[in-house]
Chains A and B, each alone.
Chain A
Amino acid sequence: MADKKLTVAKTGNEAMAEAMRQINPDVVAAYPITPATEIAQIFAGFVADGLVDTEFVTVESEHSAMSATIGAAAAGGRCMTATSSQGLMLMAEMLPIASSLRLPIVMPEVNRTISAPINIHCDHSDTMFVRDSGWMQIYCEDAQEAYDSILMGIKIAEKIRLPMMVSTDGFIISHCMANIDLIPDEEVKKYIGKYDPKTWLLNPEKKITIGCLDLQDYYFEHKMVAIDAMRRAKGVIKECCEEFGTKFGRKYSFFDTYKIDDADVAILAMGSLTGTAKVAVDNMRKAGKKVGLIKMRVFRPFPADELAQVVSGLKALAIMDRSDAMSGLEGPLAVETKAALYNNDRKPKIHSYVYGLGGRDVQISELESIYNDIDDLARAKKQFDENVTYLGVRE
């Protein structure tokens, strides 16, 4: 159990920068983009003030930021960077290189929608765009989770040897101040320990070559190693979350549930919306409706079995996506949840929603409407014309 907790007021970005300060990475190579800029900017202040030993590299683009971070990580360093939106997409070419080279880079990410049109506000289209990159992905409800998830991320990433992006909703969480409980510096240091890479380039005793050409006879086998790692990541995440809960008192898992045990219907969502949804749940419960919430945290690896287990008993489920997959189907969370349920005998009725694109706010009343609608769906009193509703869009 932690003996001392510091309760401070921090924005999401400040909380993430604070986690980085306590981690004291070897190298941070970064390029600014709204709304993630502050993370590296605040961290650069720590570097300037001598509070960390980090080699801070100001690069000319996000592609260079990720390339430099990969190079430094491959050389044997504990390395981090931070970005959003177009920056993440500019890095996209390098992301699968980081994951297939098994480099445990932890990256704070701030969810900002992708262009076009240009919009600096929140949706999940940026991290969803790179969901197949082989990086683990955690979507945080608030600044406390962001802080905790980055610390846990170091342990998880270094254990399974896969990179991780930890994201918060742009402006909604990144720029809003909340109370958070920090863990003292010494305890963080002890918790994350010293980075011990399995192989690293700057090792004259064991010289290696990485990122080689791999032809048709071996590429598939080498890729299987990375595929297998993502599958095994689930177990590592579970263990690390349990350890964190024991040590510091805040329990995390693949997802969090709120008043789900006796719920007939529920909303499944990620990010800051889940905070709003809890208020809606309480209001609906006061009105006598048995509703609940599933707050997804870990999107990659996708916790299919665990999710299927918790939703299969529901009568109806509203899946809310803060991005569209541009596939003509629905949002990515909806599609993957349905895939997870495909082999289940028991499945809830499902209706999905795409909401909040470009930072559009969602009111508590809208969520209450959704609960009423899926409650009607559960009682066969309502039918939807299509699988997905684009919430609040003017026709």
Chain B
Amino acid sequence: MEKRKLGWKELPDADSIEAGTSAEFKTGDWRSQRPVFHKENCIQCLTCWVVCPDAAIIVEDGKVTGYDYDHCKGCGICANECPVNKGKGKDDVSKRPIIMEDEKKFQK
């Protein structure tokens, strides 16, 4: 059920809202492909975290643990820059820490 839209007399005086609201805007639904994390192959170099344009790589205690799929737009830069993907995993897919998969597989 959609929230009632406010009238102008109910709105704050200035064009100002609380800060940090972009975190609530889920840009993840723009994806057509998503990165899937294979932790066993990851060398924890954090290159993916550095290059992700959406800050969607979750790092806990200095280690990559997964992705923020609410904000990952599936650009594939992480998979492209991953040194293991470019090295050992280049010809052997089973060695890759990051594999890009069709988003449709994950939609119900």
Contact = CB atoms under 8 A, between A and B. Distances in A.
Top 10 nearest A-B pairs (CB, nearest first) are A207-B19, A224-B8, A221-B8, A102-B14, A210-B16, A208-B16, A209-B19, A199-B16, A209-B17, A208-B19
Interface string B5-32: 1111001011111111100000000000
A222 B6 CA distance: 10
A345 interface: no
30 contacts: A100-B15, A101-B14, A101-B15, A102-B13, A102-B14, A161-B13, A198-B13, A198-B14, A199-B16, A208-B17, A208-B19, A209-B17, A209-B18, A209-B20, A209-B21, A210-B14, A210-B15, A210-B16, A212-B15, A214-B15, A217-B5, A218-B5, A220-B8, A221-B6, A221-B11, A222-B8, A222-B11, A224-B8, A225-B11, A228-B8
A376 to B, nearest CB: 49
A288 interface: no
A329 B11 CA distance: 39
B6 A211 contact: no
A254 to B, nearest CB: 24
A135 B69 CA distance: 45
Contacts of B15: 100-102, 210-212, 214, 222
Q: In terms of DSSP, what is the predominant structure of the interface of chain B?
A: loop
Nearest to B22: A209
Given A208-B16, A209-B16, A209-B21, 13 more contacts: A100-B15, A101-B16, A198-B14, A199-B14, A207-B19, A208-B17, A208-B19, A209-B18, A209-B20, A211-B15, A222-B11, A224-B8, A225-B8
Contacts of A100: 15
Contacts of A161: 13-14
Interface of B: 5-8, 11, 13-21
A208 B18 contact: yes
B14 to A, nearest CB: 4
Contacts of B8: 220-222, 224-225, 228
Nearest to A221: B8
Nearest to B20: A207
A224 B9 CA distance: 9
A225 B15 CA distance: 9
Contacts of B5: 217-218
A207 B13 contact: no
Interface string A199-238: 1000000011111101001101110110010000000000
Nearest to B10: A221
Contacts of B7: 221
Contacts of B18: 207-209
Contacts of A225: 8, 11, 13-14
Q: Which of B5, B14, B17, B18 has the most CB of A within 10 A?
A: B14
B20 to A, nearest CB: 7
A221 B6 CA distance: 8
Contacts of A102: 13-15
Contacts of B19: 207-209
A228 B8 CA distance: 10
Interface string A346-376: 0000000000000000000000000000000
A212 B21 CA distance: 10
A208 B17 CA distance: 5
Contacts of A208: 16-19
Contacts of A224: 8
A101 B15 CA distance: 6
Interface in A148-163: 161
Nearest to A102: B14
Contacts of A221: 6-8, 11
A225 B12 CA distance: 8
Nearest to A211: B15
Interface in A78-119: 100-102
B50 to A, nearest CB: 26
B43 to A, nearest CB: 37
A218 B11 CA distance: 10
A100 B15 CA distance: 7
B72 to A, nearest CB: 22
B18 to A, nearest CB: 6
Interface in A17-70: none
Contacts of A214: 15
A51 to B, nearest CB: 33
A214 B16 CA distance: 11
A222 B77 CA distance: 39
Nearest to A210: B16
Nearest to B17: A209
